[in-house]
Chain A
Amino acid sequence: MNIQEIRKDFPILHQEVFGHPLVYLDNAATTQKPQCVIDTIRHYYEKDNSNIHRGVHSLSERATKDYEATRETIRGFFNAKSTKEVIFTRGTTESINLVASSWGGANIGKDDEILITHMEHHSNIVPWQMLCERTGAKLKVIPMNEAGELDLVAYAELLNERTKLVGVVHMSNALGTINPIADMIQQAHQVGAKVLVDGAQAAAHIPTDIQALDIDFYATSAHKMYGPTGVGVLIAKEALLNAMPPYQGGGDMILMVTFEKTQYNALPHKFEAGTPNIAGVIGFGAALKYIQNIGFDAIMQREKELLNYATKKAQAFAGLKQIGIAKDKACVLSFVLDGVHPHDLGTILDHEGVAIRAGHHCAMPVMQFYKVPATARASFSIYNTEAEVDALFEALEKARNMFA
């Protein structure tokens, strides 16, 4: 894997910020887009723009073909059983809301329990809280330890016949922890619970085989996988989707409408009301092919190397405390620095050209657990280099000196 060649694929990286070369280390928030994704979207608007599934003209047929081809690309990428199981959404958040609203509304009652983990993103907390408020079900939380690893003993004790759904993040955006979802899914299935895996953070870094893992509901977003914003996917077992009521009503999700009765369309269209983000979906397909061309073996090896390099530097940096030191983690370095608030770090580093995230990372319960208001987070991707990690720590040194 040639990093310099990969960097050439990402035009945005080649710019200066405040007179310094841009060092983009906010990949957990969103990744940058390779030229092939930008070109694909541009091509769609320049040559093929039209509405899908309804035109008999050439443009609509081309757009429909590319849109549906992406469904197959996604199916293959995550090894879903069928393209009927692949539903396009606005992103992970909408995918989870779809499940909470449609499946949850039909299957969750007063005495049921929904089990999530302490390290969920707000998008895998709030929809379930809302469902619990509507139905009277209970929301329970799997605790974690100081390292940022789930307490699996507590998990086993929390699981019971009232547990109807387990919501778990594959990889924590705030800590970098990779959760043992294979075992967790197996245990959940033993008590008859369904499992929703939030793959937003993991999907660009770890391969996910939905059939092998036996995942019931899987949600992820294109923009964290080098694809465009505003598009994502819900992949769910066909039998579950068939039994679920539609999420939104409108065009494309119907077969026949009269004022008396509407007959819904078959999967996957039943859950895709309205004109979707066609360009976004097609761009998503190009992004997945980009990842496939590099391959997960190379990606994982490289990102591990870089995280190890950064972690060693972090351990040697006086006054720096890492937040999240799970044994199994990927490409996120979350930390606090004595005497300098993360928000100030964000501003000071920006003036050195280094883009990091400072804040609660949409995971406030994680901040509450570590009793910090916020953390600084550097998150890495395939195009980051050791020299960029060095630039990060040089900038941190400057910040530390400023407040010394």
Chain B
Amino acid sequence: MFSLGDLYKQVIIDHTKTPRNFGKLEPCSHDAEGFNPLCGDQLHVYLQINDDNIIEDVKFEGQGCSISTASASLMTENLKGKSIDEFKHMFNAFHEMATADMDTPPDEETLGKLAVLAGVKEFPSRIKCATLCWHTVKSAIEDAGEPARTE
């Protein structure tokens, strides 16, 4: 049986209470909004991407549950200095981790500290909370023009 501790690890509680890189990034080259219509999570991500396609800086603001806030906070910490190709690789690894079979271990080499969120796959109704920020960055980079959604 899953325990709550699998989801609410100390690192997650810590990032919920003091989210890193929280606020608006001005100026920024890319930004996008994301919604999770199911639970009302709402966030805005800002990215500064240079001519070499490197994410120089990334910040987020908005309101959401512990999982969505901690996931966004951890993501921003891990995206700084990464290239867009690296982001895409991480996006896929994160998505895989959040939705894979229980027995599949996360790709820790790619995800590093982000693997702490692996517990969400045991909580189907919370997976979208964890993936929202990733979808939002993807939509910012792709300049989709429409808010990212988890639905």
Contact = CB atoms under 8 A, between A and B. Distances in A.
A358 B66 contact: no
Contact of B42 (A343, A348, A358, A373): A373
Interface stretch (B46-54, B75-83, B123-131): B123-131
Interface in B91-119: none
Contact of A403 (B1, B41, B66): B66
Given A347-B123, A347-B125, A402 B39 contact: no
B1 A19 contact: yes
B147 interface: no
A253 to B, nearest CB: 35
Contacts of B71: none
B39 A359 contact: yes
Contacts of A358: 39
Contacts of B3: 351
Contacts of B39: 342-343, 358-360, 373-374
Interface residues of A, number: 20
Contacts of A367: 40
A280 to B, nearest CB: 26
Q: Would you call the interface of chain A mostly helix, strand, loop, or mixed?
A: mixed
B22 interface: no
Nearest to B13: A403
A207 to B, nearest CB: 34
Interface residues of B, number: 23
A403 B126 contact: no
A374 B40 contact: yes
Contact of A348 (B1, B4, B125): B4
B4 A351 contact: yes
Contacts of B41: 343, 373
A53 interface: no
Nearest to A19: B1
Interface string A340-362: 11111011100100000011100
A339 B129 CA distance: 17
Contacts of A374: 39-40
Interface of B: 1, 3-4, 7-8, 13, 16-17, 38-42, 63-67, 69, 123, 125-126, 129
Given A403-B16, A403-B17, A344 B40 contact: no
Q: Determine which residue in A344, A347, A359, A367 has the highest number of CB atoms from chain B within 10 A of its CB, and name it.
A: A344
A337 to B, nearest CB: 12
A259 interface: no
Nearest to A375: B40
A402 B67 CA distance: 14
Q: Determine which residue in A340, A341, A348 has the highest number of CB atoms from chain B within 10 A of its CB, and name it.
A: A341
Given A359-B39, A367-B40, A341 B65 contact: yes
A344 B1 contact: no
Contacts of A18: 1
A342 B38 CA distance: 12
B105 to A, nearest CB: 23
30 contacts: A19-B1, A341-B65, A341-B66, A342-B39, A343-B39, A343-B41, A343-B64, A343-B66, A343-B67, A343-B126, A343-B129, A344-B8, A344-B66, A344-B67, A347-B4, A347-B125, A347-B126, A351-B3, A351-B4, A359-B39, A360-B39, A360-B40, A367-B40, A373-B42, A374-B39, A374-B40, A402-B4, A402-B8, A402-B13, A403-B66
B66 A373 contact: no
Given A346-B125, A360-B39, 8 more contacts: A341-B64, A342-B39, A343-B41, A343-B129, A344-B65, A373-B40, A373-B41, A403-B66
Contacts of B38: 359
A359 B123 CA distance: 16
Contacts of B125: 346-347
B67 to A, nearest CB: 7
Which 3 pairs show the lowest CB-CB distances between chains A and B?
A343-B65, A373-B40, A341-B65
Contacts of A360: 39-40
B64 A373 contact: yes
Nearest to A374: B40
B70 to A, nearest CB: 10
A32 to B, nearest CB: 20
